[in-house]
Amino acid sequence: MFELMYEAKGVGLAANQVDLPFRLFVANLDGVPDEGEEMVFINPVISRPKGLDEAEEGCLSLPSLYGQVRRPKQVRVEAYTLDGDTFNEEISGIFSRVLQHETDHLDGVLFTDRLSATGKLEVQPRLEEFEVEFNSRRHVGEFSSDEDIAARLAEFETRYC
């Protein structure tokens, strides 16, 4: 996942963005291999939001699309690390924004869902372009059908849950 994140020039990547049915994400605030700290957050829970901050966000799932998103300035994050240790800290700044953004992915929320009404109107044409491209690529077999995805998830749940 880190390799894919770096290739896309990102600082965070959720498992469900790359077709992995796990509640985890990776992050490196520097977004460069061998620089910064590579972190893995398993089953993250965000609580105790404080303050508000608005900043531009983008997403590896929606290349070249950006918008102003309001989020809490500070949050508490509880998660497990790859080693099974507990991560439990108050986080602020860009780190807080990345953790909230990636946890949103795990909850099925995109940054575009958090845009203001005006912000949503501004990105709507580009979102429609993404939808047309997706449907076209799905039609030629580049992406799985909803039925195939549901069958894979059902098989996973039967096998591992």
Tokens at 142, concatenated: 């580049």
What per-residue confidence (pLDDT) applies to 159? 85
Torsion of CA 9, 10, 15, 18, to 10 degrees: -30
pLDDT score of 157: 82
pLDDT exceeds 80 at position 161: no
**Other Cβ atoms closer than 10 A to 57:** 21
One of 38, 89, 102, 157 is an active-site residue; which one? Answer: 102
Superfamily of domain 2-115: Peptide deformylase (3.90.45.10)
CB 70 within 8 A of CB 114: yes
Q: Encode pLDDT of 99-123 as tens digits.
A: 999 999 999 999 999 999 999 999 9
Query: Do residues 50 and 71 touch, judged by C-beta distance below 8 A?
Result: no
**Residue 76 burial (CB < 10 Å; 0-12/13-18/19+)?**
middle
Range with the poorest average pLDDT among 42-46, 70-74, 140-144: 140-144
Catalytic: 102? Answer: yes
pLDDT band at 77 (very low <50, low <70, confident <90, very high): very high
